[in-house]
Structure 1
Amino acid sequence: MSATLPQATGSFGEKPTLTFPAGDAPAELEVLVLEPGTGSLVEAGDEIEVHYLGQSWNGNVFDNSYDRGSSISFPIGVGAVIGGWDEGLVGQPIGSRLLLSIPPHLGYGDRGVPQAGIRGGDTLVFVVDIVSTH
């Protein structure tokens, strides 16, 4: 039985708002498909383009691409980003909106990213829209 995950508002391409449930964050990676995509599957080694919002569990939004008005691209499945993204995005179809709950050992661990407001041991929650792969 998985833990209860946050609720996310909005549709693909819209900045979401997260509402957190009572209780603790899941201990392991949880990936919830909010909107299934119909494109080809993301493969390890692809250059993936995404829009995203990142928030600490029951904490503040630390980053989002919607307010900047531009998506980001990076290699996926090859260790260029946190483990939760590599594990959670590979195998998903392009056009999907996903909610990822990423435990510390697949995120920023005990160090966190203090300048971004991520404390050591934080569980991270992302809403990710997979725009394309190259």
Structure 2
Amino acid sequence: MKLFHTLSILALATASLVSHAETTVKDSSYLPKKSKVSVKSDELTKVGYSFGYMMGDGNKGTATDLMLDAYFQGFRDAYVGNTPALTEEQIKQTLMDYQTRKETEYAKEIEALAKKNLEKGKAYLAENGKKTGVITTKSGLQYNVITQGTGKRPTATDTVKVHYEGKLIDGTVFDSSYKRGEPITLPLNEVITGWTEGLQLMPMGSKYHFVVPADLGYGEAGMTDIEPNSVLIFDVELLEINPKSDENK
């Protein structure tokens, strides 16, 4: 679900919400199975269809409860110069009120999702911590050794080169340097806390399996493809350590 922004809301100003129509996007019976016009008939018909399609595609998912016939009425009135059913001030206020309601609904959904994920994460960590070979640090980070290297360990100010795969507890892969076909180089003081702590445990040449609690990952905020309060699972292979240069110390 997309969180509404003022700009995108106002872009839908022609969708008059005072219509008495009961049909919404969710009512698929309203949508024609085939075009009512032959879009191959002439140039202007194709132009009209193309504009309409682009507007629909651009706003798809923006308002999941949009009344399509009200939208069409508003578009038609504005395009042909009919007297609008609402004043400009009413249109702006209607859409701002709608935005506020949607943002409130979204916040409640995120709060409920964060609470649910927190409980699921606690249960997962409790079970994982019982597995043979799993070590739980004071912070709550869990790890086990896949391959133990013999080189030195990085410090929190070092830059490292690693190969890794990141998963959610349901097995969904959300990031992988292996899939991209090349390792990544990054400073340990600019990554999630679980990585900053975990990589410092690894001698050069090691490969570890980490289970990162939400508060050591992306926390309540989450990020793209990662829900709030998600426990993260990583397989990380330490390839190189590049200490911070003297001029930057």
Provide the C-alpha distance between the structure 2 equivalents of 1:96 and 1:125, rounded to a whole number of angstroms: 17
Is 2:179 the counterpart of 1:36?
A: no
RMSD: 1.5
1:121 aligned residue = 229
TM-score, normalised on structure 2?
0.42
User: Which of residues 123, 139, 153 is equivalent to 1:24?
Assistant: 123
TM-score, normalised on structure 1?
0.76
Counting only pairs closer than 5 Å after superposition, residues 27-106 of structure 1 correspond to structure 2 as 28-76=140-188, 78=189, 80-106=190-216
Bigger radius of gyration = 2
Provide the C-alpha distance between the structure 2 equivalents of 1:88 and 1:98, rounded to a whole number of angstroms: 9
Q: Which moved more, 1:86-95 or 1:26-35?
A: 26-35
Q: Which has the higher contact order (CA 8 A, sep 6+)?
A: 1
CA drift at 1:29: 0.9
Q: Which runs of 4+ in 1 moved over 3 A?
A: none
Q: Is the 8 A contact 1:43 1:91 kept in 2?
A: no
- What are the superposed Cα offsets for residues 75-132 of structure 1, whole Å, 9 maximum, x if unpaired? 11x2x0000000111132011000110000000001111x2x2110110000000001
Q: Aligned letter for 1:86? A: T
Consecutive unaligned residues in structure 2, runs of 5 or more: 1-121, 127-139, 243-249
Provide the C-alpha distance between the structure 1 equivalents of 2:171 and 2:235, rounded to a whole number of angstroms: 15
Q: Aligned letter for 2:230? A: D
C-alpha distance 111-59 of structure 1, shift in aligned 2 (>3 A): farther
Provide the C-alpha distance between the structure 2 equivalents of 1:63 and 1:91, rounded to a whole number of angstroms: 22
Aligned residues: 108
Provide the C-alpha distance between the structure 2 equivalents of 1:91 and 1:45, rounded to a whole number of angstroms: 14
Q: Percent identity?
A: 39
Which one has a larger percent helix, Structure 1 or Structure 2?
2
Provide the C-alpha distance between the structure 2 equivalents of 1:70 and 1:82, rounded to a whole number of angstroms: 21
Q: Aligned letter for 1:102? A: V
Which one has a larger percent strand, Structure 1 or Structure 2?
1
CA drift at 1:51: 0.3
Consecutive unaligned residues in structure 1, runs of 5 or more: 1-22
CA drift at 1:24: 2.7
